[in-house]
Amino acid sequence: MTAKIIDGKQIAEEMKAEFREQVAKLKKKGVTPGLAVILVGDDPASQSYVTSKERDCEEVGIYSDDNRLPAETTQKELIALIEEKNKDPKIHGILVQLPLPKHLNESEVLLAINPDKDVDGFHPINTGKMVSGEKAFLPCTPHGIVQLLIRNKVTIEGADVVIVGRSNLVGKPLANMLIQKKPNANATVTVCHTHTKNLAAHTKRADILVAAVGRVNTITADMVKDGVVVIDVGVNRIDDSSKKSGYRLVGDVDFDAVKEKASLITPVPGGVGPMTRTMLLYNTIEAAKAFVGR
Ligand code: NAP
């Protein structure tokens, strides 16, 4: 079997077309969804993420409010800016780009965001609601993974899902989403990490295997069963002298070998990454809909 490659870029484009229509409807009601993006410091990777997020907003008609602060910004100044955005009726979503410079207290900053504007889904109130199955802003990467599965008609209900990686960003929220007693969930989920005794024994059982580790070749062909659906979240740089940059990006999965056994597989890049950005737009539009009473 050779896997069908899941095209995250194409699904993201399809979703953006849906968002443009939703934004147009909101504008007719007099509301333009607004996203405040706050970046502290001059980390080049963070700057490029923020620029892409702002470009995505423009593409679908979301107002993007750019706030780039110097690296020496104090905790008090940052929280004051968040409080200003919490009150601003033009702003429906607030995103603080992580990681923050070391002198800033990340959890205190995230707590300062109004949970109704927490479009990254990192506020403990949204985490709590997600865990108990209530409506909440869902973190963008795991939510994007669920959308990839749904839009490729993968049966999640009853599936054995194995997630390798238990970060607060990906593994834990994804496990929580997939065990909910609701449609497009109801999976049996196993979460693996560095203390897992026999990783392959778990991954071999998976109907859906998600690798969110950050290590090249964590998943090899002998670790998966025929027909598995593979979602590769990892983004790793490896040397490549044929590239101008001197490197290329690969995932956590040995893509060329595993695709010969899988039924569906995401590439890196072009799989999960575009969906993460897209789900931020989704959350911002949902926040604006809630603001106008839907
Ligand atoms: P993280 O916080 O570093 O977590 C990595 C997880 O992998 C940890 O739970 C760790 O276990 C586990 N792990 C590490 N080595 C392992 C091994 N040999 N066997 C089993 N488990 C192992 O990383 P993250 O933030 O979740 O990100 C993971 C990867 O996804 C990174 O490459 C990141 O760049 C990428 N990512 C991509 C997107 C996207 O949109 N495409 C979004 C987010 C992240 P312990 O808990 O025991 O340490």
pLDDT digits (tens, 9 = 90+) for 85-94: 999 999 999 9
Cβ of 199 less than 6 Å from ligand 1: yes
Q: Within this chain, do residues 257 and 223 fall inside the same structural domain, yes or no?
A: yes
- 98 belongs to a structural domain: yes
- 21 belongs to a structural domain: no
Cα–Cα distance, 253 to 231 (Å, whole number): 9
Residue of 124, 116, 83, 78 whose CA lies nearest to 97: 78
Total domains, the chain:
2
Does residue 294 surpass a pLDDT of 70? no
- 16 belongs to a structural domain: no
Q: Within this chain, do residues 170 and 223 fall inside the same structural domain, yes or no?
A: yes
Q: Within this chain, do residues 87 and 146 fall inside the same structural domain, yes or no?
A: no
CA of 149 to the centre of ligand 1 (A): 20
CA distances from 287 to 56, 122, 138, 283 (A): 17, 15, 12, 6
**What's the CATH code of the domain at 175?**
3.40.50.720
Domain end residue (candidates: 114, 149, 179):
114
Q: Whose CA is nearest to atom 31 of ligand 1?
A: 214
Residues pairing with 188 in the sheet: 160
Q: Within this chain, do residues 154 and 93 fall inside the same structural domain, yes or no?
A: no
Kindly give the pairing relationship between strand 34-40 and strand 63-69.
parallel
Amino acid letter for position 201:
A
Cα–Cα distance, 101 to 67 (Å, whole number): 15
Query: Which residue range(s) make up the domain with 159?
Result: 140-273
Q: Whose CA is nearest to atom 40 of ligand 1?
A: 273
- 2 belongs to a structural domain: no
What is the separation of C-alpha 5 from the centre of its chain, rounded to a whole number of angstroms? Answer: 19
283: which 2 tokens? 């959350």
Q: Which of 56, 65, 118, 120 is catalytic?
A: 120
| pLDDT per residue as tens digits for the range 158-194 | 999 999 999 999 999 999 999 999 999 999 999 999 9
Cα–Cα distance, 109 to 80 (Å, whole number): 10
Does residue 122 surpass a pLDDT of 70? yes
Query: Any catalytic annotation for residue 87?
Result: no
Q: Within this chain, do residues 158 and 221 fall inside the same structural domain, yes or no?
A: yes
Domain end residue (candidates: 99, 114, 129):
114
Cα–Cα distance, 34 to 65 (Å, whole number): 7
| Residue 158: predicted pLDDT | 98
Cβ atoms of 228 and 199 closer than 8 Å: no
CA of 66 to the centre of ligand 1 (A): 29
Q: Within this chain, do residues 147 and 237 fall inside the same structural domain, yes or no?
A: yes
- 193 belongs to a structural domain: yes
CA of 215 to the centre of ligand 1 (A): 8
Q: Within this chain, do residues 86 and 170 fall inside the same structural domain, yes or no?
A: no
Query: Any catalytic annotation for residue 180?
Result: no
Q: Within this chain, do residues 59 and 152 fall inside the same structural domain, yes or no?
A: no
- pTM for the model stands at 0.97
Q: Within this chain, do residues 155 and 106 fall inside the same structural domain, yes or no?
A: no
Q: Within this chain, do residues 52 and 104 fall inside the same structural domain, yes or no?
A: yes
Q: Within this chain, do residues 110 and 169 fall inside the same structural domain, yes or no?
A: no
| pLDDT per residue as tens digits for the range 270-287 | 999 999 999 999 999 999
CA distances from 257 to 165, 219, 221, 224, 254 (A): 21, 10, 6, 10, 6
